[in-house]
Every structure is written in structure tokens, then in C-alpha cells.
């Protein structure tokens, strides 16, 4: 069965790019334009994974993340942050303090994205061909 991924992002071009990359590997990607829409879609689609941008105009990605963790139905849903905030301190805050499942800085390669997702679904570091 296809794994369903919700990508919450305010740039439609990024959603299209990720949908193309992941669609080739058999994933179903549902795009959400911003945090509020993303929260609605997560409740109806019940995805296997969330890709989450941090800097969005309608609802900050961290707000989305904290709402997911506060909800009994979504508290264990894996989340990979995909953001332009690429400084080491941002990465440490995401991975060590907020405990996101992974943290990818834009721009990323298709290989990095696929490996991050494979790590979530298999539970181990694996090399994936893009």
C-alpha cells in the first residue's frame, strides 16, 4: 500500500517538486498551502508522514508541530521539517529540543529527501537512489 505524505508548504512550486520526486518512488503526496490548511488535511487524510515548512504566513510551522504533538491522534505522526532556516542552531532546536524526526535545509537534493523519508519508514539509515 502506498505511503501517504502531507507536505505543508506555502510555495506551490516546492509542493510540485516534492510531489514529482516522491511520486516516482511510489509515494502519494498531498499538498497543503499553509499551516491551517495542513492541519485540516492531516485530520481528514491521516497520513503516514508530514513534511513541514517552518516559515509560512498564515500559521508558523512550529505552531503546526506543537498542535500535532498535543493531539492524541497525531502525537506520534512522524514529521520532517523542510526549511530555509539552515543554521546549526535551528537544526539543534529542531532535532534535539523539539524532537522532530528529521530536519532538511532548503535547498536539498532529491537524494537527501528520499534518504530522510526512508530513514523514517525503515527505522534505519539507508542509501536510496534518487
- Span 33-91, pLDDT tens digits: 999 999 999 999 999 999 999 889 999 899 999 999 999 999 999 999 998 866 666 66
- The tally of domains found in the chain comes to 1
Q: What is the CATH number of the domain that holds 99?
A: 3.40.50.2300
- 104 part of a folded domain: yes
Residue 91's pLDDT is 66
User: Bigger pLDDT: 125 or 4?
Assistant: 4
| pLDDT value at 15 more than 60 | yes
- 130 part of a folded domain: no
Asked whether the whole model's pTM tops 0.95, one would answer no
Phi-psi region at 11: left, alpha or beta (left = phi > 0; alpha = psi -120 to 50): beta
C-alpha cell at 77: 505522526
C-alpha cell at 6: 502531507
User: Bigger pLDDT: 123 or 93?
Assistant: 123
Sort strands 49-52 and 28-33 into parallel, antiparallel or unpaired. unpaired
Give the pLDDT band of residue 100 (cuts 50, 70, 90).
confident
- 128 part of a folded domain: no
Residue 42's pLDDT is 98
- 9 part of a folded domain: yes
> Residue 72's domain spans which residues?
4-122
Instruction: Compute the chain's Rg from CA coordinates.
Output: 13
- 93 part of a folded domain: yes
- 129 part of a folded domain: no
Amino acid at each position: 500500500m502506498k505511503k501517504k505524505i502531507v507536505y505543508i508548504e506555502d510555495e506551490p512550486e516546492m509542493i510540485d517538486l516534492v510531489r514529482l520526486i516522491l511520486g516516482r518512488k511510489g509515494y502519494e503526496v498531498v499538498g497543503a498551502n499553509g499551516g491551517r490548511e495542513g492541519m485540516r488535511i492531516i485530520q481528514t487524510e491521516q497520513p503516514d508522514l508530514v513534511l513541514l515548512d517552518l516559515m509560512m504566513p498564515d500559521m508558523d510551522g512550529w505552531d503546526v508541530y506543537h498542535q500535532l504533538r498535543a493531539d492524541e491522534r497525531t502525537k506520534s505522526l512522524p514529521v520532517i521539517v523542510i526549511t530555509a532556516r539552515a543554521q546549526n542552531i535551528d537544526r539543534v532546536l529542531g532535532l534535539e529540543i523539539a524532537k522532530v524526526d528529521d530536519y532538511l535545509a532548503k535547498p536539498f537534493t532529491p537524494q537527501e529527501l528520499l534518504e530522510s523519508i526512508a530513514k523514517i519508514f525503515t527505522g534505519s539509515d539507508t542509501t536510496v537512489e534518487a
